[in-house]
């Protein structure tokens, strides 16, 4: 007698890890008790810069073409890419936020010493609403540039300088532009902030070498490119209700639990995000 064949769907691989420090029941309760806010969504278009050659193995496109949380390039994307590659190789070692933070801390410390991206502003130009802000990047010697759509960044940090007197909003059709150095990045965990570059409604980035970039935590190395960031639309988001002692008017990255169509529920190192 022949042994019956195993159905194909039973042979499909499954994920062998999960985040162990936040029960799914808690997430579902936060969704049930949440409130609806509106979130700007941004289109990011990438074209090859034919005037420059790649300096290492990279891609011609970003992993995502819609930004919900943030888009960045430089040292922070380099660290995120290292994290992604390490997690792909050993997923069982990255099943909790604490372990993830430890990895980011170690990787950040290494880049603090190596300063690999100290010449970032020499290999790119950035225009915001038609104004060239590259001289500001050079002046502050930034190692990363972040286009931030929500107040919170990695691990709930807030890199926008609220002392500047310029407020943030998630639904105003404006995105914040922030410069970061390897010295500033660890200070974010202690309540520090990055360098305020500007706010804008559109941006154009031209890169001259292969540079790590990320969209909502999805990172890759991108070959020399011409990148345009423009407003796409607004999405309805369900956010966790804030405690009475909290007086901020914005949802944090970690409180964004679910997004309604268009999109689906996914996990990144810092947030749930909506992918269009």
Q: Report the pLDDT value the prediction gives residue 16, as an integer from 0 to 100.
A: 37
CA distance 205 to 146: 12
Summarize the confidence of residues 58-79 as an average pLDDT: 94
Beta-strand pair 124-128/131-132: antiparallel
Poorest-pLDDT segment among 60-69, 194-203, 212-221, 265-274: 265-274
| Integer Cα distance of 172 and 267 in angstroms | 25
Lowest mean pLDDT among 61-75, 94-108, 191-205: 94-108
Share of the chain above pLDDT 70, in %: 67
- Domains in the chain (CATH in brackets) are 42-232 (2.60.200.40)
Task: Give dist(CA 250, CA 153) in Å, integer.
Answer: 13
- Please give the mean pLDDT across all residues of the chain: 78
Distance CA 224, CA 53 (A): 7
Return the CA Rg of the chain. 20
Q: Worst-scoring range by mean pLDDT, 13-27, 49-63, 129-143, 250-264?
A: 250-264
- Position 199 pLDDT exceeds 80: yes
Mean pLDDT is lowest, of 47-61, 101-115, 127-141, 202-216, for 101-115
Q: Are 41 and 235 in contact (CB under 8 A)?
A: yes
For 51, the token pair is 């005037």
Region 228-246 average pLDDT? 80
State residue 85's pLDDT score. 64
Poorest-confidence range of 123-132, 182-191, 212-221? 182-191
Please write the tens of the pLDDT for every residue from 78-118: 888 876 666 666 666 656 565 556 555 555 555 555 567 78
């Amino acid at each position: 007698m022949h042994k019956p064949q195993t159905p194909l769907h039973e042979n499909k691989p499954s994920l062998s890890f999960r985040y162990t420090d936040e029960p799914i029941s808690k997430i579902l309760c936060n969704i049930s008790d949440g409130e609806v806010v509106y979130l700007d969504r941004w289109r990011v278009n990438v074209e090859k810069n034919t005037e420059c050659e790649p300096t290492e193995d990279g891609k011609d496109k970003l992993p995502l073409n819609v930004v919900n949380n943030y888009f960045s390039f430089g040292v922070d994307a380099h660290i995120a890419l290292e994290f992604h590659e390490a997690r792909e190789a050993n997923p069982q070692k990255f099943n909790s936020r604490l372990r993830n933070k430890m990895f980011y801390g170690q990787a950040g410390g290494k880049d603090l010493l190596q300063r690999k991206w100290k010449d970032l502003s020499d290999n790119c130009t950035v225009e915001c609403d038609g104004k060239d802000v590259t001289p500001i990047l050079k002046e502050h010697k930034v190692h990363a540039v972040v286009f931030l759509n929500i107040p919170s960044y990695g691990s709930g940090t807030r890199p926008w300088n609220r002392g500047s007197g310029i407020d943030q909003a998630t639904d105003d059709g404006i995105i914040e532009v922030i410069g970061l150095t390897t010295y500033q990045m660890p200070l974010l965990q202690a309540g520090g902030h990055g360098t305020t570059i500007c706010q804008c409604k559109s941006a154009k980035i031209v890169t001259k070498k292969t540079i790590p970039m990320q969209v909502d935590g999805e990172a890759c190395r991108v070959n020399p490119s011409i990148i345009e960031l423009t407003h796409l639309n607004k999405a309805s988001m369900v956010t966790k209700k804030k405690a009475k002692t909290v007086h901020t008017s914005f949802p944090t990255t970690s409180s964004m639990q679910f997004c309604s169509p268009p999109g689906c529920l996914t996990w990144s190192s810092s947030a749930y995000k909506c992918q269009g």
